[in-house]
Chain A
Amino acid sequence: MRQQFARISPHSLRLLALLLALLATILFFASQIDGYLSPRMFNRITTSAAVVLPVAVGQAIVIMTRNIDLSVGSIMGVVAYMTGQMLAVLPELHPVLVVLACLGLGAVAGAINGVLIAWGRVPSIIVTLGTLALFRSFLVEWSDAKTITTASLPAWLVELPSAVAFSVGALDIRVTVVIALAACLLMGLILARFRPARRLYAIGSNPDAARMAGINAPLVTFLAFVACGALAGLSGFIFLAKFGNITVVAGLGFELKSIAAVVVGGVSIMGGSGSMLGVLMGALLVDTIDNSLTRWAVVSEFWRDALLGMLIMAAVTVDTLANRSLERLRAAKGGEQ
């Protein structure tokens, strides 16, 4: 029994723990809130998680390379706003082109980060702390205090958040959820099956060794930031569709929300590990707690941020302690041989 337990990889163990945490959270709130296990609540949580999932996937890629991107919230805001503006002028634009424009705009912002970090050799935390402010002030200047409203958006975009892709029993899966899941799945497949993508892990787990193995570390880092920017752009698109009314504060705080989903999802902040399945569950767990707290009568909704902070801290602490005891276990085994 013990041996079988040891045979499960630490990663699967972590995913299992996440799944249990998610189930426990749902069961807890189901016992607290009347009518919690309803298709409506399911929609509320999944559509909310759909906004954060793409940007969390991007954040995960960056964190795997032992970097961080604090500017993603500002990128989302810029993309949502400028796309809304573009659609007011060109309402006939094909939806696929709109999504591509969002990805492209985000990628440009990500490329700015990437160049400074990869070739300018400025630490990512400094660059993205700076661009967090820069992109946002660009948006404020650009917008000229005007707001994008649903009235100026084409009908297909306004209807997109309530469009149903397919139904499983009584549960509807919305189109935005499918888009977000597709982005997550695609990135997961690339990371697992596409050999060059493994370089992301190599750089994150040991930058020096990666360099000696002939990996072009600056290029890979640059591409990670471009991908992160593009995915933040996709989140910006879903944000625009979901809310319709976009002001200059759009996307504010999403840098923290995405990091929360990533860290809770078991991606090590020290780089070199993590999976997209984990990020998906992390995003779901964070949004389940977020959306359920607003309905829970016992604590006021003002507790959301405080609990989110504690949740991240708890996840990281458990992760660190678990990893350390695992290392000790491995070291002990090595001693026996």
Chain B
Amino acid sequence: MNAKWRVRIVVALVVTVLAAAVYFPILKRRVKRQAQVQQKSEEQARLELVQSLNAVSNEPKIKAKLFWAADAEYSDLAPSTVELPLSIDPVLRAKQVLNTLLAGPVDSELRTLPPDAALLAFYILPDGTGVADFSDAMANSIPSGVQSEQLAVDSITKTLEANVPQVQRLKILIHGQQVDTLAGHLDLTGTFPVNLKPAAPAAAPTSAPIKK
């Protein structure tokens, strides 16, 4: 290898090192920004919850019925009465009861939903389908299994059924996306019945799954 080539290689190496030195901080900033966006969306959800609760704090307190596990073995659900200043607006009301459900009961062993999960959004479609969008923790932190996953969904649907009659069925999203299962077992591709009349027991999943 002659001197000319040696110089070329050294120059190329120097250029590469300089480019990496310039690009690395940019990449680092981008990753940091992305993480902040995700954190912000969950913080935003919590903030909205507090604001929504404050917005209706003038409402008279109503006895809301919430469903947590009946025992530490997850054998069934049991109703608990919690006094809340429930809004008359069904969307706000649904957010209030679901966030109280997420906050958990006094006895943490009876909670049905992961403590770090957050409700990111809730809305009701014209056909009565309530759409609940939970953070990733709902799927990642829930104990895996048919029993625990079904109990989690039952606690949500029964709580909505008891407090928000406008919701007829429930669609669950995870971080804005439809997913196949909650934690490997329970089918989230369809909807779950909430306030459906007994004459039409269109148990979920009632709708044809939307394939990604």
**Do these two chains really belong together in a complex?**
no
Interface residues of A (CB under 8 A from B): none
